[in-house]
Structure 1
Amino acid sequence: MLLDIQFLDDATRPRAPKLENLTIEQRAPGRHLKMIHDHLRQNMQVLRRMVDEVAAGEKIVAEVEAEAEALTMVSNYRQFGNLCGQHCNIVNTHHSIEDAHIFPALSEKGEAWKKVTDRLIAEHEVVHALLVKLVDALNALARDSSRENFHAAREVNDALERVLLSHLGYEEDEIGDALGYFRIGV
């Protein structure tokens, strides 16, 4: 159900104009955006590994909790809740900044850029809906650690991972260079 996300079809995604002969300085904001996205990707990998280990019976939930406690990102963001909750908060904050500051500035640069940013905003809405579903699924799992609740949480996490990774790549490809070209801060 959740994994059949037609919306990820690249053929439906608007393409930005290609920018030629960019300087190193103009490419820097796009590289910075990728670094931020790489942090999100790293979080997804950690979550994926932990979920897979529990699913394979290699670890019990208590072991995953202990491992999560040892992660630097957990200690740094402890006030935001559990590992998944932290990741959800980071993604939501990142997208809120883009929606409020970066995309409006870029959409003013022409119709092609507006189409791309409109699509990115629409994708943010899908990511946000999946984040809400994940939080709900994790809360259900915390209340009742049944196999069904674990499966439901894993299904939502799988969908979120697929959508988010696709979205991040699309965003980097389409607007990365434009950020420096148009001097839009990241």
Structure 2
Amino acid sequence: MTSPSDAQHQGESFVQELRWVHGMIRRDLNAVQRLAAETLEGATSVDLRAEIDSLQTDGPLWKLRMNCLHYCSFVHGHHSLEDRALFPALLESNRKLRPVIDKLEADHRAVAVHLDEITAGVDELQQDGAPATRLRLVAALDTLAGHLLEHLDYEEEAISPTLRSWTR
């Protein structure tokens, strides 16, 4: 039988895991934004290679730090998993979360549009590398950051109480 303190500890582990993944998303977004800004200032791929390589070896399990495409793919996958598995489970545990889940799903759709813009910008950058292309990529990353960081904070705050009630 699970004691209340065991259940609280197990639920807290869900919250900590969510924050850990979101922390990686935040760190990687910051690194990708900084690298994109450096390209806007004229840095070449040669200039950035060492930093990209250090990102690749500096991360935990996932190699999402390799480039924007990996980052975008990871965030898409993370949100897809939340939509398919986490959110239905949260609703099963707490029906009062319906408006929260609706907002989070709408956020995921909006973030997906921004991620797709970044992916297109990276593809375009590979083709021409023009300053205007670099500027669009930096702007797309900045727009993503504004939406994604707000979303991550809201999600953690809104669903953590229900996650804390879960037991494994």
Q: TM-score, length-normalised on structure 2?
A: 0.84
Residue 181 of structure 1 corresponds to 165
Partner of 1:145, secondary structure, is coil
CA–CA separation in structure 2 for the residues paired with 1:126 and 1:46:
22
1:41 corresponds in structure 2 to 26
Partner of 2:4: none
Contact kept, 8 Å, 1:108 with 1:114, in 2: the verdict is no
Map residues 21-36 of structure 1 onto 2, 5 A cutoff. 23-36=8-21
Query: What are the within-5 Å matches in structure 2 for residues 66-81 of structure 1?
Result: 66-72=50-56
Report the Cα distance in structure 1 between the residues aligned to 2:31 and 2:166, rounded to whole angstroms.
35
Stretches of structure 2 lacking an aligned partner (at least 5 in a row): 1-6
Q: CA deviation at 1:137?
A: 1.2
Structure 1, unpaired ranges of 5+ = 1-21
Percent identity reads 26
Deviates more, 1:63-72 or 1:148-157: 63-72
Shift of 1:51: 2.0
- The code of the aligned residue for 1:27 comes to E
C-alpha distance 73-96 of structure 1, shift in aligned 2 (>3 A): farther
Within 5 Å, give how 1:1-186 maps onto structure 2. Answer: 23-57=8-42, 59-72=43-56, 83-183=67-167
Contact 1:99/1:121 (<8 A) preserved: yes
Q: For 1:140 and 1:74, how far apart are their aligned partners in 2?
A: 27
TM-score of the superposed pair, with normalisation by structure 1: 0.76
Cα distance, 1:73 vs. partner? 5.2
Distance 1:81 1:33 in 2: 19
Distance 1:88 1:73, change over 3 A: farther
Query: 2:111, 2:147 within 8 Å by CA — same for their partners in 1?
Result: yes
Task: Tell me the number of residue pairs that the alignment of Structure 1 and Structure 2 aligns.
Answer: 161
Please identify which structure carries the higher helix content. Answer: 2
Q: Distance in 2 between matches of 1:138 and 1:72?
A: 18
RMSD, aligned α-carbons: 2.5
Moved more, 35-44 or 174-183: 174-183
Distance 1:81 1:43, change over 3 A: closer
